[in-house]
Structure 1
């Protein structure tokens, strides 16, 4: 599945139209964010994560979406289930993000 690019304008709609969502918050100047992008794309194509929407949000240009997850650092990942924040992590390791995504199954 393709990674969805969301902004403040459509972030709530993306959350409400997908039961399970993982969001990567990034900034254009963030090197670690850029390095993680291919991993995030690969994870979105992983059959193990079927039915989960993968979303990219620019934390600098979408302050409302950033507030919903209490973003503290970049890259920052958050999982939402039925529009509600489940958990989040500031990390650049794929294993930490995979563990976060598995919390959607709980």
Structure 2
């Protein structure tokens, strides 16, 4: 599934539309965020049943508050609209492990 850009205007709707969601919070000035973008796209292609969202943490304060974003890049996984877990990291292996929590019961 392609990565979808999300904002405060459509964030909640996107969470409600998809059972499993991975969110990457970023900022335009964040170098590590830019470096992670191709990895995030590759991960999204490997997980067709999971929705991948890109959220600009600076222009979407409500979406940022939902996951208690503390650092960038910051990742959050949601199942059925509920926050499961978050992670501040720029290592792909850590994000893969976070995504795996969506598949656990």
Distance 1:75 1:86 in 2: 17
Q: Deviations over 1:64-104 (max 9, x none)?
A: 00000000000000000000000000000000000000001
Q: Which residue of 2 is the match for residue 42 of structure 1?
A: 42
Q: Which residue of 1 is the match for residue 27 of structure 2?
A: 27
C-alpha displacement of 1:2: 1.0
TM-score by length of 2: 0.98
Q: Are 2:4 and 1:8 equivalent residues in the alignment?
A: no
Q: Which runs of 4+ in 1 moved over 2 A?
A: none
Name the Cα RMSD after superposition: 0.5
Distance 1:98 1:66 in 2: 21
Which sections of structure 1, spanning at least 5 residues, go unmatched?
Answer: none
Size of the aligned set, in residue pairs, is 104
Secondary structure of residue in 2 paired with 1:105: coil
For residue 85 of structure 2, the aligned residue among 87, 98, 106 is 87
Q: Deviations over 1:19-44 (max 9, x none)?
A: 00000000000000000000000111
